Amino acid sequence: MSTKRTAVVLGAAVLALSGAATSAVVADGRLPLLDRHAKGDVDEYGGATRLQGDQSQLIKDSIKSSGARNVILFIGDGMGDSEITVARNYLEGAGGFFKGIDALPLTGQMTHYSVNKDTGKPDYVPDSAATGTAWSTGVKTYDNAVSVDRHGKAFPTLLELAKRNGLATGDITTSEIQDATPAVEVSHISARSCYGPVVTSTTCPEAAKENGGRGSISEQLLDTRPDVTLGGGSATFAEVAKAGKWSGQTLEQQAKARGYTYITATDALAGVSSADQSKPLLGLFSPGNMPVKFAPYLATANGANGPAGTCTPEPTFSQVPDLRSMTTKSIDLLSKNKSGKKNGFFLQVESASIDKKDHAADACGQIGETEQLDQAVQEALKFAKKDGHTLVIVTADHAHTSQIVDGNTPGLTAKLTTKDGAEMIVSYGTAAAGASQQHTGTQLRVAAYGPGAANVVGLIDQTDLHFLMKNAITRH
């Protein structure tokens, strides 16, 4: 594999790239990033504008067609246009911009849908398993399926393809590492709920080890063997394998016996200096999903009639690594191990609880997790710009339900005071209080930086991401 291939960073949270920066390619050939803050006070003539002159040269300078050496895919779970705008308004103000999410110079729109298992017809509002399967394998499937098509046939994932081509690989998330989005890179199974041997025996019997199958998601993860795996989900690793070479041992015992550096303490992450196939890193920092950045601020019936609130820190958040630190650590480990140095790396990064907090009608919860994604993207862009051979793509798996409105709705509302000192009302109208808000089927934004970034411009489908990245990681 050529070492002249260019690096790619692909981002699974949908990117709100609305603009163009004023700078052109710098003297050393690095590509430009965008600075899209408003140029003045938003209530003055021209003050709300984000452009500085004609952007044609910047866009021209942003187009680099050579192949990628490394691929980093960012996913903002449930991060539709509305979720980005809610978070931006609150954290940065109406004229502000995200220095990660909004800095990528090329943008497009992406269709996302699953298919009916029996008929193959479109299902316009998909889940994270089906959407993740689309970019990971290039095939549409039914909701709940993980990297198999509607007939149950497994297709190679991007992470598996990267390994076959000699690249270093990583899979990190703020959810349980067995959750749908991280699972689509390391496993193939009929139901996303089959985290460990216990559930798999009854829900996914075709995959159970005792039936000669691939095993649960956790067992398949250990077999797939990414160089770096970080997230939550340690509880499942207390389950015992029912068959095979590791029968009778817990999955944690199996991981350690198979050479994994298995850590659960936050401070242990800083001490890890290497991760490769001889000693891959498996860091599980919470029994389930990892704590989020902001404490709950729930929408309620007639919530717009009450006083506006602000987001406060979640006390347990400091007990785990944040997404930015996991991203920087992963990039460092993958770029410096033997395979990464020789052939490059593939890394998938997910901010998972934008979706989970949107389901809960928790405005501050989703805002904090969008901020986590933005901070992680900023770190990847620093690497990509310095590296000079990196394509960054940031997108989402599906859209969600939150909307910025002007008053109470028949649903639930939450009122927040934004950075501007203005009031913003966020509405959740797809489920009753206490129930789970629904995904939505609107198209998603996708943004990119670096070699091959122009391929996301215009209207693409989620499966296009697979082939775009596949072409990068399998190029010789």
Quote the CA–CA distance of 138 and 78 in Å, as a whole number: 20
Q: How many CB atoms lie within 10 A of CB 154?
A: 16
Q: How far apart are CA 462 and CA 444, in angstroms?
A: 9
Cα separation, 161 vs 131, whole angstroms: 19
Could you say which of 62, 128, 218, 353 is catalytic?
A: 128
Based on the number of CB atoms within 10 Å of its own CB, is 467 exposed (0-12), middle (13-18) or buried (19 or more)? Answer: middle
Count of Cβ atoms closer than 10 Å to residue 6 Cβ: 24
Compute the Cα dihedral for 230, 232, 237, 242 and give only its sign.
negative
Pairing of strands 261-263, 281-284: parallel
Cα 108 from Cα 113, distance rounded (Å): 17
Neighbours of 434 (CB within 10 A): 9
296-312 burial code (b ≥16 CB/10 A, e <16)? ebbbeeebbeeeeeebe
128 in active site: yes
Beta strand 403-405 pairing with 423-428: antiparallel
Q: Which residue has the tokens 């000699």?
A: 166
Distance CA 151, CA 148 (A): 8
395: nearest Cα among 96, 97, 168, 106 = 106
Task: Give CA–CA dist 203/196, Å, rounded.
Answer: 11
For CA atoms 429, 431, 432, 434, the dihedral sign is: negative
At residue 440's C-alpha, the angle toward residues 437 and 443, to 5°, is: 155
DSSP code, position 455: G
| Backbone phi and psi for residue 119, each to the nearest 5 degrees, phi listed first | -105, -20
- Cα gap 226→163, rounded to integer Å: 8
What are the CA-CA distances from residue 41 to residues 22, 54, 89, 138, 365 (Å)? 19, 21, 15, 45, 29
| Residues 313, 296: Cα–Cα separation, whole Å | 9
Query: Which residues are catalytically annotated?
Result: 128
